[in-house]
């Protein structure tokens, strides 16, 4: 605590990201990174951007990238917003679109992305957590009450459980007075994006990340899709904060990713099939695994403490994520790795569980 800090800074409780260990030779299954790297064509596109242009500011509106995203989702560029990772996009969303104290608290699930309450504190947004059901489902019925906005991840994090597009559309039909934000960081691993509903629901904002399904966590690129009205609000915030959230290299990488659809499809399918294999093997070891449509599984063992399991795995060089939080302290969140990483994990768990 420093006397240089404002009272506001003293009171902040920042988000703590999963660790990025500096040591090599570690099996890193704690932050949902993609085990398959970006495509060779993408790396080539980034290399081609390493030139004298770096002395110039990047295009502030990243219009070429917006066009590529708009084409991919059959939208117009006015319906697309881009930012420095979806975390930055979300920060602007909380600040600009979800702060409606006069209408009621912002609503999100009790078990959800732990950055949401942090943004609420940063931007002084009142919120209320809506409990998931006993079996960890989001019950959208519970969100039909006065609110200053609604946000939830789909698939949810850290459960991995998906809400179908039909349930979402039914909900949107009765919630047209609220801004509804769907955080689709994991949608490409088995869900259907709600981007197809944007033309019908001007209150719907869909946020996506290039960190997970597009293997670009190190590049920091995220985007939001919604009505021109919502997007214009985000642009006002962004242009009051940082006009150049994406550099030349990020823009080149993002465009190249959308242009290499074959590679995207191939790696996405590999993660999905590895998830199925990992789930089956965990179940064989006696673990309960929630049905995941993400690139991670959320799992608990009937007789082993999750904290203990995480620390035994760590001794064996495998890092997973454990949340010391009511309702989920018995669970581990394990990123789906590639075949050899998942096999290492299963072998390690086998030795621990049979001890």
Report the alpha-carbon distance of residue 210 to residue 184 in Å, rounded: 10
Judged by beta carbon, residue 219 or residue 256, the one nearer ligand PLP is 219
**Residue in 33, 87, 188, 260 binding ligand PLP, rule: CB under 6 A:** 87
Token pair recorded at residue 329: 């302290």
Report the alpha-carbon distance of residue 58 to residue 25 in Å, rounded: 37
Please return the burial class of 209, using the count of CB atoms within 10 Å of its CB with bins 0-12, 13-18 and 19+.
buried
Confirm or reject binding of residue 159 to ligand PLP (CB under 6 A).
Answer: no
Shortest CB 112 distance to ligand PLP, Å: 8
Cis amide leading into 214 (omega within 30): no
**Cβ–Cβ < 8 Å for 38, 258:** no
Judged by beta carbon, residue 109 or residue 304, the one nearer ligand PLP is 109
CA atoms within 13 A on the CB side of 53: 13
Shortest CB 248 distance to ligand PLP, Å: 19
Which residues between 194 and 233 bind ligand PLP (CB under 6 A)? Answer: 209, 211, 217, 222
**Cβ–Cβ < 8 Å for 128, 109:** no
β partners of residue 182: 152, 206
Size of the site for ligand PLP (CB under 6 A): 12
Report the alpha-carbon distance of residue 218 to residue 84 in Å, rounded: 11
The pattern of x and - marking residues 164 through 183 that bind ligand PLP according to CB under 6 A reads -------------------x
Shortest CB 56 distance to ligand PLP, Å: 25
Confirm or reject binding of residue 160 to ligand PLP (CB under 6 A).
Answer: no
Confirm or reject binding of residue 157 to ligand PLP (CB under 6 A).
Answer: yes
**Cβ–Cβ < 8 Å for 127, 117:** yes
Shortest CB 297 distance to ligand PLP, Å: 14
Query: Among 83-91, 276-284, 331-339, 340-348, which window interacts with ligand PLP (CB under 6 A)?
Result: 83-91
Confirm or reject binding of residue 38 to ligand PLP (CB under 6 A).
Answer: no
Return residues touching ligand PLP (CB under 6 A): 85-87, 113, 153, 157, 183, 185, 209, 211, 217, 222
């Amino acid at each position: 605590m420093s006397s240089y800090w404002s009272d506001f800074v003293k009171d902040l409780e920042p988000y703590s990201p999963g660790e990025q260990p500096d040591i090599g030779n570690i099996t890193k299954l704690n932050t949902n990174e993609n085990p398959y790297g970006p495509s060779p064509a993408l790396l080539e596109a980034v290399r081609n951007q390493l030139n004298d242009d770096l002395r110039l500011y990047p295009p502030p509106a990243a219009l070429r990238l917006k066009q590529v995203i708009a084409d991919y989702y059959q939208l117009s560029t006015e319906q697309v917003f881009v930012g420095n990772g979806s975390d930055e996009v979300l920060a602007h969303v909380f600040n600009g679109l979800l702060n409606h104290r006069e209408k009621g608290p912002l609503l999100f699930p009790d078990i959800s992305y732990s950055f949401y309450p942090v943004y609420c504190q940063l931007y002084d947004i009142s919120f209320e957590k809506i409990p998931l059901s006993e079996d960890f489902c989001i019950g959208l019925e519970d969100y039909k009450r006065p609110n200053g906005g609604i946000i939830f991840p789909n698939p949810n994090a850290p459960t991995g459980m998906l809400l179908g597009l039909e349930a979402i559309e039914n909900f949107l039909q009765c919630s047209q007075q609220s801004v509804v934000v769907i955080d689709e960081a994991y949608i490409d691993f088995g869900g259907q994006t709600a981007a197809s509903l944007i033309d019908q629901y001007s209150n719907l904002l869909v946020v996506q990340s290039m960190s997970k399904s597009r293997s670009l966590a190190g590049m920091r690129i995220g985007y939001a899709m919604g009505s021109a009205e919502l997007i214009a609000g985000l642009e006002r915030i962004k242009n009051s904060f940082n006009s150049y959230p994406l550099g030349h290299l990020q823009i080149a990488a993002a465009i190249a990713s959308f242009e290499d659809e074959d590679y995207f499809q191939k790696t996405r399918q590999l993660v999905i099939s590895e998830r199925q294999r990992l789930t089956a093997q965990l179940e064989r070891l006696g673990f309960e695994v929630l049905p995941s449509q993400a690139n991670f599984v959320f799992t608990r063992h009937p007789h082993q403490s999750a904290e203990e399991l995480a620390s035994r795995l760590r001794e064996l060089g495998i890092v997973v994520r454990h949340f010391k939080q009511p309702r989920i302290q018995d669970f581990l969140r394990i990123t789906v790795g590639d075949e050899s990483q998942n096999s290492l994990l299963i072998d390690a768990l086998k030795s621990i569980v049979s001890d």
